[in-house]
Structure 1
Amino acid sequence: MSEYQYYEFLAIERPLEQDEIDGLRALSTRAVITPVSFVNEYHWGGFKSDARKLLLRCFDAHVYVANWMTAVFMLRLPIEALSREIAEAFAVEDTLDIKADQNYWIIEWGLWDSENYDRFGVEDGRGWMARLAPIRDELLRGDIRSLYIGWLAAVNGEMFADDLMEPFSVSGMESLTAPQKALAKFIEADPDLLAGAGMGSPALQETQTFQKEMDAWLDAFPRDEAKAVLRQLLEGKGRRAEQSVRNRFAAWRRGLGDDRTDAPRRSVGELRKNAEKARHIRAEKQKCDRKRREVKRRREREAYLKNLSMDFPKAWNSIQKTVERGSGPAYDEACNDLSDLSDAYALCATRERFKEKMNDFMAAHRRRRALIQRLAKAGVWNE
């Protein structure tokens, strides 16, 4: 099997300038490049640049997938969007890398050695960016659950001792957003560990509280700065104005506190015990679901057989016409229909009556050896 690598970059804060687009084209003649994105795949060779440097220069999000069981998601955030305390607490070697330069944080969630061969045998990387990119806005709003997911993924690999404490007690782990669920799937975080982390996790801040904070911030927003934002809107720089205001609001909210709570932190051992509970709950739920599906299947089967029994002569005539086609597929169809008819007689009449009708039916078809073999194998009729 040949090598496969998929690269996708997305610009969110601002569109690319023409000289930046030209620079990207110099890196690849085959890539699909737009004012907000760069997408390319490689079957031989690789990308001629460094993804981290490219993010720092002109993009805000990056997805990388390779068929040697690797998946990486990276984000660029304004330096004021995340505290160094948070970054250092959640960073884990290989799984969640968080580094900063003078103006930006680069956050990298990495899966480097998956054992999911089925996934990487068919996955080409497309579609992940749309599912993962909203995590950037969540982080700008102070929602750090995606960082917790990255840290928790390291617990999968048993690299943490049971007595190690979680970085912070983070609220809302029991009710992840769609992008956060996608991230967990992308880096293959253990679903039972995730469910265990949600056990006892404090509830998220109420939407009304968030609105009150927004109103308080807007009430104190300087008039001259508000005027500058409006000027940007009128000049067609709406996206830049929006990102600037959102970044400032996120930085202000971070000063109030993020999704950390005063709830006691849990040890890795506690999280693993919770994961065992979650695994048991999931197994019981799957068992109940299987029983429910089986009950439904039986009811549907019974209803079908009762309907079939409403006109047995019609069913026999239909099977007769099918057999007369004389082909292998026709015999397969007839065999299935006769099996259903046998069950219908058992439910609504008697098996003895079916045997009588079957003997009458087969009297005209004893030379159809292929049909007889199928019926014998299915246990519907024996000579």
Structure 2
Amino acid sequence: MSEYQYYEFAAIDRPLTQSEMAKLRAISTRAVITPGGFTNHYEWGDLKADPAEWMRHYFDAFVYSANWCSCHLSLRLPKAAFDKAELRPFIAPTTLSVEFSDTHWILDWTLDESEDYDRFAEDDGSGWMRRLIPLRDELLRGDLRPLYLGWLAAGDALDDDTQEPDVPPGLTELSPAQQALVEFLEIDPDLFEAASTGSAASMPAGDEETTRMTPWLDTWQVSDMKDMLTKLALGHGQEAERQVKSRYAAWLKAQRPVAPDSPRRRVAELRGLAQSVAAIRRVREAKAHAKREAERRRQHKAKLRQLMASPDESWKAADTHAARGGASGYDQAMRILAELAEGYALVSSREAFDRELRRFLVPHARRAALLRRLADAGLWPG
């Protein structure tokens, strides 16, 4: 099987210039290149450029997928979006790394060596950018859940004694893009559910939250409010929203300080919780399976009773198929005969079925292939 690699880049904060597009075209003659991005796939060759370098100079988002069970997401954000201390706790071996320049952060989420071979055999990579790109806006607005998911995806690569980062609120109600990131990184669902138990509810909306915000707004200086309004007027709404939410979150934290005797969980504790979650899930799944099986059996018995309301019709149908001969005819006849055997066992007896079967076989006694099928199915002594 040939190799397959998919590359997609997106320019969001500013479009590519004609000169930049010409430089990209010189590298790839087959790619789809527009002011908003670059898309190409390779089955034998590879991109003759460094994606990390392109992210530094041209693009704000990058998705990569290869059929050797590997995928990658990069997002470039303005340096003002975070400070280094906010990002450092989320950096994780193999799954989330951070690069910075004078003007930007570049965040990288990576999945290596997936065991879901069917996914990478069937998925050409083309749908992930659309699903994952909203993560950039969420991060710009101060939502830290994508970072926590990147850390959690490290899974077995984390040491037992490693402390988890502060758990962001709202893990139990992920956005569609965050749910896509869980799928993209193949985060263990039991570990995710265990981690979610440490997540507070997301910020309430509506009148209740407006009332809670009033004393916080009273702490604002007029100059600060003017600064935020200026950002909005100049089209920097994301930056303004992120700063306002960051200030509000800091104020709330100050009102409800974390008790010193409430340490963050260690990875070993998360793994223990995940094992408990898995045990509960298996019990729940077993009950659901038993319920489905009971319903299936109920429906099957109802079908058999309906068949046995007029069994002569089924015997005639089986006779017609058997008389036609050939593998198809015999297989159709066997399907009907097997249902009749179940039906007689349910509402009458096996002896009654055997009597009808002997009568049925009188004109078909020389059809060796049919008799052999009956013997293999245990419906005839052979």
> What is the TM-score normalised by the length of structure 2?
0.88
Give the distance between the partners of 1:119 and 1:42, measured in 2 at CA. Answer: 18
State the one-letter code of the partner of 1:250.
R
State the one-letter code of the partner of 1:373.
R
Q: Report the alpha carbon displacement of residue 288 of structure 1 after superposing the two structures with TM.
A: 1.4
Match of 1:181 in 2: 179
SS at 2:148 equivalent: helix
State the one-letter code of the partner of 1:382.
P
Q: Is the 8 A contact 1:169 1:266 kept in 2?
A: no
State the one-letter code of the partner of 2:62.
H
Match of 2:286 in 1: 287
Match of 2:237 in 1: 245
Match of 1:220 in 2: 225
Match of 2:350 in 1: 351
Match of 2:377 in 1: 378
Q: For residues 138-195 of structure 1, what are the alpha-carbon distances to aligned partners after superposition, in whole Å with 9 as ceiling and x for unaligned?
A: 21222111111111122322x31x2321121322223323322221222222221111
| Range with bigger deviation, 6-15 or 353-362 | 6-15
Q: For residues 61-115 of structure 1, what are the alpha-carbon distances to aligned partners after superposition, in whole Å with 9 as ceiling and x for unaligned?
A: 1111122332111111121222211111111233211122122110001122333
Q: Is the 8 A contact 2:55 2:76 kept in 1?
A: yes
Q: Unpaired segments of 5 or more residues in structure 1?
A: 230-240
1:254 pairs, out of 246, 250, 264, with 246
Match of 1:236 in 2: none
Match of 2:364 in 1: 365
State the one-letter code of the partner of 1:247.
E
Q: Report the alpha carbon displacement of residue 28 of structure 1 after superposing the two structures with TM.
A: 0.7
Q: Report the alpha carbon displacement of residue 29 of structure 1 after superposing the two structures with TM.
A: 0.7
Give the distance between the partners of 1:63 and 1:100, measured in 2 at CA. Answer: 19
Q: 1:52 to 1:247 in 2, by over 3 A?
A: farther
Q: Is the 8 A contact 1:9 1:62 kept in 2?
A: yes
Q: Is the 8 A contact 1:7 1:65 kept in 2?
A: yes
| Range with bigger deviation, 245-254 or 264-273 | 245-254
Match of 1:47 in 2: 47
Q: Unpaired segments of 5 or more residues in structure 2?
A: none
SS at 2:30 equivalent: coil
> What is the TM-score normalised by the length of structure 1?
0.87
Give the distance between the partners of 1:285 and 1:184, measured in 2 at CA. Answer: 22
1:169 pairs, out of 152, 159, 167, with 167
Match of 2:103 in 1: 103
Give the distance between the partners of 1:118 and 1:13, measured in 2 at CA. Answer: 36
Give the distance between the partners of 2:318 and 2:380, measured in 1 at CA. Answer: 15
State the one-letter code of the partner of 1:251.
Q
| Range with bigger deviation, 253-262 or 126-135 | 253-262
Match of 1:17 in 2: 17
Q: Report the alpha carbon displacement of residue 299 of structure 1 after superposing the two structures with TM.
A: 1.2
Give the distance between the partners of 1:140 and 1:224, measured in 2 at CA. Answer: 18
SS at 1:92 equivalent: coil
Give the distance between the partners of 2:139 and 2:228, measured in 1 at CA. Answer: 27
Aligned residues: 368
State the one-letter code of the partner of 1:186.
F
SS at 1:254 equivalent: helix
Residues 1:273 and 2:265 are matched in the alignment: no
Considering only aligned residues, what root-mean-square deviation do their CA atoms show, in Å? Answer: 2.8
